[in-house]
Amino acid sequence: MPPGLVVGCLGEANGFLVGPWALNESAQGYPRASLADLYPDDCLRIARRFLQLDAEAQYFHNVPWMNEGPEFAFDVVGRHGDRSDIDMLRRFTRAHRHAKFALAALRTLDSLGATRA
């Protein structure tokens, strides 16, 4: 499958799992489940491929918020990536349509120490 379609669908599904409309964890007794936390290696591999190709996200539904896929991909790289991702993220900070997501991912990597190789 094309990385843009996979990231778009994962972002859309993840948004319903962790978004404000997700079930309240106290009501169900379960914490909100993020796909990136449940499947970090798979999500990281897909997110890196999506960003390396600078792909456009595609969605199963006609979502009104078209940044959900890219935001998911950058968040995954920020939370589960390592210092090898820094140059790729910096490339997106230079007048790119997703610069704010790239900057957030860089801040997250920095706060985690980016010690993972």
51-65 pLDDT per residue, tens: 999 888 887 767 667
Region of 108 please: left (phi>0), alpha (psi -120 to 50) or beta. alpha
Question: Residue 22 pLDDT > 70, yes or no?
Answer: no
Q: Name the amino acid, one letter, at 90.
A: R
Instruction: Give the residue from 22, 103, 53, 106 showing the smallest Cα distance to 6.
Output: 53
Identify the pLDDT of residue 93.
Answer: 92
HEC profile for 52-77?
Answer: HHCCCCCCCCCCCCCCHHHHHHHHHH
Identify the pLDDT of residue 16.
Answer: 82
- Contacts of residue 83, defined as CB under 8 A and 6 or more positions apart, other chains included, come to 109, 114, 115, 116, 117
Question: Residue 117 pLDDT > 80, yes or no?
Answer: no
Q: What pTM, to 2 d.p., does this model score?
A: 0.85
Residues in the chain: 117
Helix (H) or strand (E) holding 42: helix 40-53
Q: Given pLDDT bands bounded at 50, 70 and 90, which one contains residue 73? A: very high
pLDDT, the chain, mean: 86
Q: What percent of the chain lies above the pLDDT cut of 70?
A: 82
Question: Residue 81 pLDDT > 70, yes or no?
Answer: yes
Question: Residue 66 pLDDT > 70, yes or no?
Answer: yes
